[in-house]
Amino acid sequence: MEKVSLAWRNLWRNRRRTIITLAAISFSIMLVQAFHNLSFGVYESMVDSGVRAGSGHIAIYHTGYLNTRDETLSFPVASLPEVIEQIPGVVQALPRIYLPALAQTSRESRGVVLIGVEPKKERLTNPFLQNLSDQSMIRKSNSRDAIIGQRLLQELQIKPGQKFVVTAQHRDGSLHSELLRVRGIINTGMKDIDSSLILIGSQRAAMLSGHIGNVHELAIVLKSAWLDRQVFPEIAKRLVNHPNVEAVNWEQAMPNLANAIKLDYASQKFIFLIILLIVTIGVINTMLMSVMERMREFGVILALGSTPVKLGGLILLEALILGCIAALLGSFLGCLATWYLATVGIDLETFMPETLEFGGVVFDTVLRANWDIAWMAQIAIYVIGLTVFAALYPAVKAGRISPMEGMRHT
Amino acid sequence: MGQISFMSLIELHNITKIYRVGSQKVVALKNLSLVFERGDFAVLAGPSGSGKTTALNMIGGLDRPTSGQVLVNDLDLGKANLKRLADFRLHNIGFIFQSYNLIPVLTAAENAEFTLMLQKTPRHQRRERVLSLFADLGISGLEDRLPKDLSGGQQQRVAIARAIAANPRVILADEPTANLDSNTAEDLLSLMRQLNNSHGTTFVFSSHDDKVIRRAKRIIRLEDGLMVSDNSQNL
Ligand SMILES: Nc1ncnc2c1ncn2[C@@H]1O[C@H](COP(=O)(O)OP(=O)(O)O)[C@@H](O)[C@H]1O
Ligand SMILES: [Mg+2]
């Protein structure tokens, strides 16, 4: 205990230097924690909107469909959505039919993607449908109502309420056409989607394509993205009686988004590494300065009968105390910063008025942090370790001096 | 250590110490042979640069001779490793330095307790010892002061308390009075003599001040690293 007291007093011999060092370490911890939490929150919201507008946290396909997008590869859903929705953590299971088709008006024609959905269920999840008014929604699963991408609407030169024709290949190989009516307009902000997307009721899509009772995709939305590891095996269990059907998680179903996040996080980790490296160099410098100033005293302590190991231990103890204070202080600041970023957030609208697209997904322009407590603690502990590590060289240096040399220092 | 020994407490056999400064060699001690017995009160006298500090460093195991042998309390210091030397100093030697060398962040009492702390003596025992030492040394009441709030004489008394707290066999003092005024120096020497008389503690100190040298029971004169005389006197 006396050693701790001695180390503590030594730490405050040069008050200003210690405070500056503490501030630098704490500030770095705050930066790293706050930025990580911000990314953590942003990635989560990106995954969330990507998942809600896309194929869910986990999706079920006919084997091979994901790679080929061959629309003949549909599978019978039967009661699968209801069964899966029983699994704890699952919010919804959304059946979908995807059909490449040709849309025609009296003036124009365009290649489109028809998506057959269950309109009421889909609206609960899909953020773009939530923005539509009741008058713009598809009324029934078998109605002729269509929700159509903004750009596609312009390209086809039609208006809401007007009719157009879609033609798609039937399961039997022949071409079938249906008359649809524009009910709502969707604007995702992504050019590709806004110029090719048409949503219709699932029964209407099944009638058009002959995939009665079948779907191409069953998109499963979870309460939180981090539940997928837990829920996945549960889903797999319920698929054993469904031959030729596979479940994939969002990272496989949306590789672009997953890769974009991985890449972004990797570059961030690199920056974190550099920040921590700079901190380490700063601590080495501080500890080395404080050791060099005390050479004479160390000579005396060794002369009195302390061993080099004990003396080195004292330096390491000083660093450990420094690291612990910095970790506490830095984490406190990190919590404050995270709290601000989580409640207020950063509104990007002021910087860039356009929609934000990342990895093929549009997301909210207000970036918000999310708490990753385990990671914050981990960083704090790392920094304590780094501080002690940084004191290793100064400690060895102090232990190496001979008492006589030390005492010759003035 | 409790064994009966036929050896003297300190034996220096043909000690030569050569320092290398760049390409130059400085011979600090030449063939010095000396024996100290228990209860000695000896001074190493000589002008600056004559090798006094070097000789004390040899006895204290702070430095190794270039050639020759140092035996203290049966231990061959030239053959001991760093850990063993540190242990030897902790249990056998008390140091008093010219410039006191108290640890600035520790209070007077904590400084005096330092070697006891290294020896892992229980706290209350240490306090007791230091309180009685402070009383003997006439510095009672200064226990909680930091070195910077003490006079030179007070600091040197704390340093003496530190040196004798663990009851070492030998106390080595390198020009202990050089930074003190003559009255204070006088007091300090009386104190050392008293300890020597009452506890039989062996003292080896150095000085170039005749007034101080005269107070020793044994005077060893050094010049340019050579011993020129070794006289005992009755006081
Ligand atoms: N560490 C050292 N490196 C080089 N020369 C030294 C060292 N210590 C002492 N000397 C030299 O050795 C000689 C004796 O020094 P020292 O023992 O300090 O004498 P004193 O204590 O009697 O003044 C001097 O010439 C001094 O310059
Ligand atoms: Mg000297």
**Chain A residue with the nearest C-alpha to that of B111:** A301
Q: Are residues A201 and A280 in the same domain?
A: no
Predicted-complex ipTM score: 0.92
pLDDT band, very low/low/confident/very high, at B53 (cuts 50, 70, 90): very high
> Helix crossing, A308-343 with A255-293: angle to 10°?
140
Q: Are residues A101 and A119 in the same domain?
A: yes
Ligand 1 mutation target, pool A401, A405, A408, A409, most atoms within 8 A of CB: A408
Structural domain for A400, as ranges: 2-50+258-408
Can you list the alpha helix ranges (DSSP code H) found in A218-306? 228-238, 250-253, 255-293, 295-303
Residue A360 has pLDDT above 80, yes or no: no
Q: Are residues A196 and A87 in the same domain?
A: yes
Kindly report the pTM of this predicted structure: 0.80
What is residue B139's three-state secondary structure?
coil
CB-based burial, A56-68: b 16+ in 10 Å, e otherwise: bbbbbbbeebbee
Residue A362 has pLDDT above 70, yes or no: no
Q: How far apart are the C-alpha atoms of A399 and A408, rounded to whole Å?
A: 16
Ligand 1 mutation target, pool B50, B54, B212, most atoms within 8 A of CB: B54
Which chain A residues have a beta carbon less than 8 Å from that of B60? 303
**Domain coordinates of chain B in residue numbers?**
8-232
Beta strands A145-149 and A175-186, pairing class: parallel
Nearest CA distance, B34 vs chain A (angstrom): 22
CB-based burial, A139-157: b 16+ in 10 Å, e otherwise: eebebbbbbbbbbbbebbe
Query: Residue B187: its pLDDT value, please?
Result: 87
Query: B51: Cβ below 6 Å to ligand 1?
Result: yes
What is residue A220's three-state secondary structure?
strand
- How far is ligand 2, taken at its centre, from the CA of residue B98, in Å? 9
**CA-wise closest residue to A147 among A111, A196, A107:** A196
Superfamily grouping for domain B8-232 = P-loop containing nucleotide triphosphate hydrolases (3.40.50.300)
Q: Are residues A81 and A148 in the same domain?
A: yes
Q: Are residues A242 and A269 in the same domain?
A: no
Flag whether residue B87 sits within 8 Å of chain A, measured between CB atoms. Answer: yes
Residues with a beta carbon under 5 angstroms from ion ligand 2: B 53
Q: Are residues A339 and A319 in the same domain?
A: yes
**Chain B residue with the nearest C-alpha to that of A403:** B62
Q: How far apart are the C-alpha atoms of A247 and B130, rounded to whole Å?
A: 78
**Chain A residue with the nearest C-alpha to that of B93:** A304
Average pLDDT of every residue of chain A: 89
Q: Are residues A180 and A74 in the same domain?
A: yes
Yes or no, beta carbons of A304 and B114 under 8 Å apart: yes
Query: Residue B3: its pLDDT value, please?
Result: 46
Residue A54 has pLDDT above 90, yes or no: no
Q: Are residues A139 and A42 in the same domain?
A: no
Nearest CA distance, B234 vs chain A (angstrom): 32
Q: Which of B114, B144, B167 to mutate to test the interface with A (most CBs of A within 10 A)?
A: B114
Give the A window 4-43 contacts with B, CB below 8 Å: 6, 9-10, 13
Instruction: Indicate the residue of A2, A302, A403 with minimum beta-carbon distance to B117.
Output: A2
How many domains in chain A?
2
pLDDT, tens digit, for every residue of B2-18? 444 456 889 999 999 99
Yes or no, beta carbons of A305 and B63 under 8 Å apart: no
Query: Residue A359: its pLDDT value, please?
Result: 60
Given A213, A228, A250, the domain boundary residue is: A250
Q: Are residues A69 and A217 in the same domain?
A: yes
Distance of CA A74 to the CA centre of its chain: 31
Q: Are residues A98 and A32 in the same domain?
A: no
pLDDT, tens digit, for every residue of A43-52? 888 787 777 7
Given A250, A278, A295, the domain boundary residue is: A250
Given A250, A280, A298, the domain boundary residue is: A250
Q: Are residues A102 and A167 in the same domain?
A: yes
Query: Residue B157: its pLDDT value, please?
Result: 93
Q: Are residues A262 and A286 in the same domain?
A: yes
> Closest-lying ligand to the alpha carbon of B55?
1
Ligand 1 mutation target, pool B17, B26, B62, most atoms within 8 A of CB: B26
